[in-house]
Amino acid sequence: TETLLKVENLKKFFPIHGGLFGRQVGEVKAVDDISFYIKKGETLGLVGESGCGKSTTGRMLLRLLEPTQGTIEFDGQDLTKLSKEEMRKMRKEIQMVFQDPFASLNPRHTVEKILEEPLIVHGVKSKEERKKRVRELLETVGLSNWHAKRYPHQFSGGQRQRIGIARALAVHPKLIVADEPVSALDVSIQAQVLNLLQDLQKEFGLTYLFIAHDLGVVRHISDRVGVMYLGQMMELADSEALYDSPKHPYTEALLSAVPIPDVHVKKERIVLKGDVPSPANPPTGCPFHLRCPKVMGNCASVRPVFKEVEPGHYAACHLYDEQM
């Protein structure tokens, strides 16, 4: 299959201002040199604790945030090179579904108006046509046309997320960046929304970047999974390989903390010491070295290279350095 998205050496640094005159006194390396690709029709799960840079990564793909450095090749075009106007048109192809469906829907607009908006922005001029598309979209996400005249507060959390998904689908995107789309929902509702996303993927050949803070959530929906820590990619592999034989000590620790029923390796719970360090003052060397149960010689001083340690299985860890 073709590659739809190829991200290389992507960085996002935010300046920190301080002092009397608001001078820049430092920077937060929210995303620090990550690379990955997503094939057409595939789901890549992107996992990590809050502040690891996964949402920042997702937002850069739509250029809702401007990358500090790196390339984002989508369908053969480097998005970082597009003008604002070209990028506005490109948003037809890449859409986002947000964590909090309530905050992302205008409370004063009816569902019909919410779903018509992207159609208007992307040039569907006929009112008739838009109404027809709204009906179609509501049906596609399991709602009905009589919902069209209602307001967001009249819906449950799960229904609101369906509306958020319908809005993302309105202009027939190829890639959907879903940023923790089920984290705010009850567990019983989560499965329904995940199933819907999977059905839509099959029906429309969609490609997903699925962001989550928990390895359990992305297990079934992802073809491959990437694990981030403090702005860096720690491990990336086929789902099965990642869950059954993780290579990176951080992934091992995350997996040991999440009960995932059909993961074969049964490990003891690995309790990490300390908290995630501040991204404004990240550790030298391997970003995980202060908490890593397997920390050794050069972990504190040398950043490990993110490299292929088995076919299709990538990790950034000195455990996989060539023996001298």
Smallest distance, Å, CB 213 to Mg ion?
Answer: 7
Q: Check: CB of residue 179 under 8 Å from CB of residue 150.
A: no
Least distance CB 30 / Mg ion (angstroms): 11
Binding partner selected for residue 317 from ligand SF4, Mg ion, none, CB under the kind-specific 5 to 8 Å limit: ligand SF4
Pick the closer one to Mg ion by CB: 71 or 183.
183
Q: Is 113 exposed, middle or buried (0-12, 13-18, 19+ CB in 10 A)?
A: middle
Q: How far is the CB of 294 from ligand SF4 (least distance, A)?
A: 4
CB of 227 to ligand SF4, least distance (A): 11
Q: How far is CA 296 from the centre of its chain?
A: 31
d(CA 142, CA 130): 18
**With respect to ligand SF4, which residue has the nearer C-beta, 175 or 290?**
290
Distance CA 173, CA 169 (A): 6
Nearer to Mg ion, 52 or 234 (CB): 52
Bridge partners of 16, per DSSP, are 26
Stretch that binds Mg ion, among 14-22, 51-59, 151-159, 190-198 (CB under 5 A): 51-59
Nearest-CA neighbor of 91 among 81, 103, 79? Answer: 79
Q: Which residues bind ligand SF4 (CB under 6 A)?
A: 248-249, 286, 288-289, 292, 294-296, 299, 304, 317-319
CB nearer to ligand SF4: give 225 or 299: 299
Nearer to ligand SF4, 148 or 286 (CB): 286
Q: Which does 318 bind (CB under 5 to 8 A by kind): Mg ion, ligand SF4, none?
A: ligand SF4
Q: How far apart are CA 123 and CA 133, in angstroms?
A: 13
Q: Which residues contact 204 (CB under 8 A, 6 or more apart)?
A: 169, 172
With contact defined as beta carbons under 8 Å apart, do 207 and 178 qualify?
A: no
Q: Give DSSP secondary structure letters for 208-262.
A: EEEEES-HHHHTTT-SEEEEEETTEEEEEEEHHHHHHS--SHHHHHHHHHS--TT
Distance, in Å, from the CA atom of 154 to the CA atom of 252, rounded to the nearest integer, reads: 42
Q: Applying CB under 5 A, which of residues 55, 57, 222, 239 lies at the interface with Mg ion? A: 55
Choose the one of ligand SF4, Mg ion, none that binds residue 260, judging by a C-beta under 5 to 8 angstroms depending on kind: none
Task: Indicate which of Mg ion, ligand SF4, none lies near residue 58 (CB less than 5 to 8 Å, by partner kind).
Answer: none
Instruction: Confirm or reject binding of residue 104 to Mg ion (CB under 5 A).
Output: no
Closer residue to ligand SF4, CB minimum distance, 197 or 234: 234
Q: Residue numbers of the site for Mg ion (CB under 5 A)?
A: 55
